[in-house]
């Protein structure tokens, strides 16, 4: 089926407000071509452009991309360094496109631990695009859900110890407000590429009721058409939120 056919089938009134993606399979993509893993990461940038543009064109307000996990530091130093400089180059070369398309850049994760150059270009990108309103693109960078929940709990505990907050007043809203995604609606659709069927420490709290979509497509091959397919799949599902099917239909 062609691109435009799939796109036309999407109900624009029922778009997910937030799509979260685990961009996976770069290494295997490169290996299948007899190349080094970094070649796969470089070729993943095209897919980042496609999904960002695809979401912006449809009108999806929030898109989060898992770019580097706290666990990814355990990879060979050469690969980690290459990923960090690829991030710098990509952010710097894409800022203009983000500006032209009115897209705001944000980040979740422990930014303070990133190499200075990477952190600086990220902060510059965030600063330059902060007034943009069409869509928010969130990079999960040095992110993991357990890190996020831990730092959130620490901050809540500090408030309790200073008598600024009573334990009985800690509710779901308070917890959400102490996460890196503060103010961002929970993802309704989570897409993971490359056939891996796991969450890998990603948005554990926020994905509580997300629809999960897994595809065999390796990240560097991901195109708008694959995004449309995922959204159509999402729109075909019945989201019950604990109710019965009959309740949801009526």
Residues making contact with ligand IPE (CB under 6 A):
22-28, 66-69, 71-72, 83, 194, 196, 198, 200, 219
Determine whether 72 is an active site residue.
Answer: yes
Number of neighbours of residue 69 by Cβ within 10 angstroms: 20
- If one asks whether residue 219 binds Mg ion (CB under 5 A), the answer comes out as no
Pull the structure tokens for residue 44.
Answer: 């993943």
24 binds Mg ion (CB under 5 A): yes
Closest to ligand IPE by CB, 48 or 231: 48
CB closer to Mg ion out of 21 and 106: 21
Report the partner that residue 198 touches, choosing among ligand IPE, Mg ion, none (CB closer than 5 to 8 A by kind).
Answer: ligand IPE
The residue whose Cβ lies closest to Mg ion is: 24
User: 169 by DSSP, 3-state: which?
Assistant: helix
Whether residue 5 lies in the annotated active site: no
Taking the C-alpha atoms of residue 13 and residue 204, their distance in angstroms, rounded to an integer, is 27
Count of CB atoms within 10 A of residue 239's CB? 11
How many Cβ atoms from other residues are within 10 Å of residue 13's Cβ? 6
Q: How far is the CB of 197 from ligand IPE (least distance, A)?
A: 10
Asked if 204 and 66 count as a contact pair (C-beta separation under 8 A), the reply is: no
User: To the nearest whole angstrom, how small is the minimum distance from the Cβ of residue 178 to Mg ion?
Assistant: 29
- Enumerate residues 161-190 that contact Mg ion by CB under 5 A: none
Strand partners, 104: 136
Residue of this chain nearest to ligand IPE (CB atom): 27
Both tokens of residue 149? Answer: 């929940």
Query: Which residues sit opposite 64 in a β-bridge?
Result: 20, 138
Catalytic residue among 3, 8, 11, 72: 72
Pick the catalytic residue from 5, 11, 24, 81: 24
Q: Which is nearer to ligand IPE, 17 or 75 (CB)?
A: 75
End-to-end Cα spacing for the chain: 33
- Taking the C-alpha atoms of residue 73 and residue 47, their distance in angstroms, rounded to an integer, is 23
Report the DSSP beta bridge partners of residue 192.
22, 214
Q: Provide CB contacts within 8 A for 203, sequence distance 6+.
A: 20, 64, 140, 145, 181, 187, 190, 210
Q: Which stretch binds Mg ion (CB under 5 A): 17-25, 104-112, 123-131, 207-215?
A: 17-25
Q: Which stretch binds Mg ion (CB under 5 A): 22-30, 76-84, 157-165, 178-186?
A: 22-30
**Residue number, 23 or 179, with CB nearest to ligand IPE:** 23
Residue 28's binding partner among Mg ion, ligand IPE, none (Cβ under 5 to 8 angstroms by kind) is ligand IPE
Binding site for Mg ion (CB under 5 A): 24
Catalytic residue ranges = 24, 72
């Amino acid at each position: 089926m062609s691109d435009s056919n799939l796109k036309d089938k999407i109900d624009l009134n029922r778009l997910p407000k937030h799509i979260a993606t685990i961009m996976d399979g770069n290494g295997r993509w490169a290996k299948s071509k007899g190349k080094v893993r970094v070649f796969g990461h470089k070729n993943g940038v095209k897919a980042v452009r496609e999904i960002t543009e695809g979401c912006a064109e449809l009108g999806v307000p929030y898109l989060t991309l898992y770019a580097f996990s706290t666990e990814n530091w355990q990879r060979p130093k050469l690969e980690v360094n290459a990923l960090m400089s690829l991030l710098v180059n990509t952010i710097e070369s894409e800022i203009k496109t983000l500006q032209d398309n009115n897209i705001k850049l944000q980040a979740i994760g422990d930014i303070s631990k990133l190499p200075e150059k990477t952190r600086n270009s990220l902060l510059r990108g965030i600063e330059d695009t902060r007034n943009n309103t069409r869509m928010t693109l969130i990079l999960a960078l040095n992110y993991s859900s357990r890190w996020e929940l831990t730092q959130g709990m620490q901050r809540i505990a500090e408030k309790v110890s200073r008598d600024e907050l009573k334990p009985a007043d800690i509710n779901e809203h308070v917890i959400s407000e102490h996460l890196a995604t503060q103010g961002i609606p929970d993802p309704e659709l989570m897409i993971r590429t490359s056939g891996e069927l796991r969450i890998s420490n990603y948005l554990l709290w926020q994905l509580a009721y997300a629809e999960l979509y897994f595809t065999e497509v390796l990240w560097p091959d991901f195109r708008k058409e694959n995004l449309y397919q995922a959204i159509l799949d999402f729109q075909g599902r019945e989201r019950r939120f604990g109710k019965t099917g009959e309740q949801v239909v009526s």
